[in-house]
Chain A
Amino acid sequence: MISVNNFRGNIDSTIGISAVQKSSNSEAIATSFKKVKGVLTWTLGSLKKLKDVNIPLGKPLKQQLDRVIKVSSQLDILSSNPNGSEEEGEEEEKKDEEAPMIVNIPCVRELDSVGVRFQPLEGGNMAIEFDENKGIFYLPVVKLDVNSEVIMRNLVAYEALTQPDFLIFTRYTELMKGIVDTVEDVKLLVKAGIIGSSSTLSVEETEELFNGMSKSIAPTKTQKLDETIKKVKKYYDYKRKTNLLRASTDYVYRSWKFFTLLSTFILLALTAIDTVCSAYDCQGYFKTK
């Protein structure tokens, strides 16, 4: 009961905040609201379920629940109507601004954990691709030795000087920097054959090489590669979410046994009390004098 009340308090306050935000109509609304929204909808969903379960709760509590749920439907309207369009517009703006600058991608270990496989690319080094159906990330084979860092840096510089409108190699180095965070990532890439067996650099040196590459100073204008990166990110997020969902349902299903056992015991106990009471005069015990 206390926890339910707490929930209610939280919701009330957050709704209060979002109402204030709505009136102020500043740009920060959309982002902060988005953050809150996930939590809110989850709580409301669980509250509704709680109501549907029909636990014999006290009447006053039920009324309060009703009130909260009513507010929640307003919340949905709130999020879908005026702020919705604003959000979208802002998101697009953000895409234009940020996407070309920073490679936002999980590292190899994380990708590996959701089942992404890495395979050497055939035919064209920069035709990096991601197969969403099979979860295969195609990367060019790297062959590193003591000269590689200097050569790669000079290639990046040469690219920046000769074709500033299409910095594909620069983007590639950023991608590698993005997916290689630790020595562990390098080891996985070696295992997948992306880092060729003829490489003479140790895993530590390789990790340093990729992470030492400088960030680009200008938008790289490499749409196809950017899309591929986005695809990988989406796949990762999606997989992780489903994994989490599966894990939680698994958890619930596993505990069903326990719940059945528990309810059986309760049932048995109640039956026993019932039997006892039919034989003896229980009412006499409980009767107040």
Chain B
Amino acid sequence: MASLSIFNSESDEDCWVIQINDMVSESHFSLLKRIPVCIFHVPKSLICGKPEAFAPQFVAIGPYTHFRPELYPMERFKIFAAKAVLDHFQKHELKQVVQEFHDTATFIRASYHKYLDLKDETLLYTVAIDALFLLNFFHNYLNEKLSGSFMRGLGDQIQLRGLTLTKDAIVRDILMVENQIPIYSLLKILRFESSEPPHSVQEYLGSMLLSFCQQHSPLKITNSPTCSEAVSKHYHLLDLMYHLVVSNAVKSETPIPDPSEEGMCKLSRNIEKL
């Protein structure tokens, strides 16, 4: 049934008022203007060719899909995976991570195209769990010699009995348009958890993401950016993959000025400050 309003109850409306006030507050407004909407709902016209290619089948990442009933059975495994990462660093509890994220809710919201009918706290928990799960998933792609001691010894990834063949399903799902979370949320968690200097953390994350993309890209990737660029210049995993695949085309054909890139870098810097 299609609802006529984004609200389901009166409390939603209160939430909405708070969100709008947050958005127009001086400290946020100038930043928000620079955050591009980067995570979309796929319009029906694009889906119709093959609907199952756009709807996650196995694992939900991000607020669009996190609470879909058909995907919720994976929640338990995602939490195990997230907990494994937290246990590995032995620094913080999930609650503290979410606390650390607290001020970024408005910015995370801004990346999503559709109105998110979630309270700030719920949204942050969602993003935190998914980000930790992704970190757990990606660390297997980490280049051995680059990784050093970083995250090594983190238990073999999500041990689902009888579900070991589902790695491909996860790969497919985390590259879907609707199934994205901003890369900076991964970066922020890693920086918060790891005791390494911020720059090398960014390198680690970048090399993880790049080798993931290299392994799964449908086209052979001929030239790739540096690891830290991969993190700072791209909004989410699919965005990174896209720019790796089309690589030179944008430069050689029509140079599209991308003011949002700056905004993104600034954003991650500002988020650090917060």
Contacts and interface: CB of A to CB of B under 8 A. Distances in A.
Interface of A: 120-127, 140-163, 165-166, 168-169, 196, 212-214, 217, 222-225
A168 B218 CA distance: 15
A26 B46 CA distance: 39
A154 B177 contact: yes
Between B171, B222, B248, B252, the greatest number of chain A beta carbons within 10 A of the residue's beta carbon is seen for: B222
Interface residues of B, number: 40
Interface of B: 38, 40, 42-43, 45-46, 48-50, 53-54, 168, 171-172, 175-177, 216-223, 238-239, 241-242, 245-254, 256
A261 to B, nearest CB: 60
B256 A157 contact: no
A151 B214 CA distance: 13
Nearest to A152: B218
Given A141-B219, A161-B43, 5 more contacts: A124-B252, A125-B249, A140-B219, A154-B177, A168-B249
B248 A126 contact: yes
A214 B248 contact: no
A151 B246 contact: no
A158 B239 contact: yes
17 contacts: A123-B248, A124-B223, A126-B249, A127-B249, A147-B216, A155-B242, A157-B46, A158-B242, A159-B242, A160-B46, A166-B250, A166-B254, A168-B249, A169-B242, A169-B246, A196-B220, A217-B46
A161 B168 contact: no
A147 B219 contact: no
Contacts of A223: 253
A186 to B, nearest CB: 15
A250 to B, nearest CB: 42
A124 B249 contact: yes
Given A143-B218, A146-B168, A153 B248 contact: no
Contacts of A157: 42, 46, 54, 177
